[in-house]
Amino acid sequence: MAAAGPFGNFLIAFSAFVVLRSGLSLGWFVAPESVSLDSIVELAKGPSYITTMLSVLLIQNVFLGTFNLLPLPPLDGSAVLGGLLPERHAIAMREFSSSGMMSMVGLLVAWQVFPAVTDPLFSLVLRAVYPDASYS
């Protein structure tokens, strides 16, 4: 059950990705001169709120899904990890992470770790959208 949230994020991201790639293939969208979190593609006729919305849906949901999979309490990843562990370890992990203090520590650690993950994730998304291009 804990994987439902991240799965939903990745499903939304995949849907936006399919629309973006299809639009590029059909010539509706083009690559912008420079990409950003809210401008992965542009309409062939220029920028549009539709392309901004699709870009944000893709990136935001990839980031949220990945963030929530970090195996730190109170994020979903800690429950997913607990579901993969042997029962004895899962029980110990649940007891350990049920403390409010551990939830705060988990969020603080995630807050510090996640910025190191966003640039590689953004590059990965760009390589998927534009397999033959090179954006830095």
Tens of pLDDT, residue by residue over 86-99, are: 788 767 777 766 77
Residues 6 or more apart whose CB falls under 8 angstroms from that of 67 comprise: 75, 110, 114, 117
Residues 6 or more apart whose CB falls under 8 angstroms from that of 86 comprise: none
Q: Is the peptide bond before 71 cis (omega within 30 degrees of 0)?
A: no
Q: Containing H/E element for 43?
A: strand 42-43
pLDDT digits (tens, 9 = 90+) for 13-30: 999 999 999 999 999 999
Residue 81 lies in a domain: yes
Residue 136 lies in a domain: no
Residue 105 lies in a domain: yes
pLDDT, residue 84, reads: 66
Residue 134 lies in a domain: no
Among residues 121, 115, 114, the alpha carbon closest in space to that of 62 is found at 121
Residues 6 or more apart whose CB falls under 8 angstroms from that of 91 comprise: none
Residues of the chain predicted below pLDDT 50: none
What's the domain range around 67? 4-129
pLDDT, residue 70, reads: 78
Q: How many structural domains does the chain have?
A: 1
Residue 135 lies in a domain: no
pLDDT, residue 16, reads: 98
Q: Please, are residues 129 and 21 in contact by the beta-carbon 8 Å criterion?
A: yes
pLDDT, residue 111, reads: 81
Residue 85 lies in a domain: yes
pLDDT, residue 56, reads: 96
Q: Which residues pair with 43 in a beta bridge?
A: 29, 46
Among residues 94, 98, 96, the alpha carbon closest in space to that of 83 is found at 94
Residue 65 lies in a domain: yes
Residue 101 lies in a domain: yes
pLDDT, residue 82, reads: 64
The reported pTM is 0.80
Q: What are phi and psi of 42, to 5 degrees?
A: -130, 155
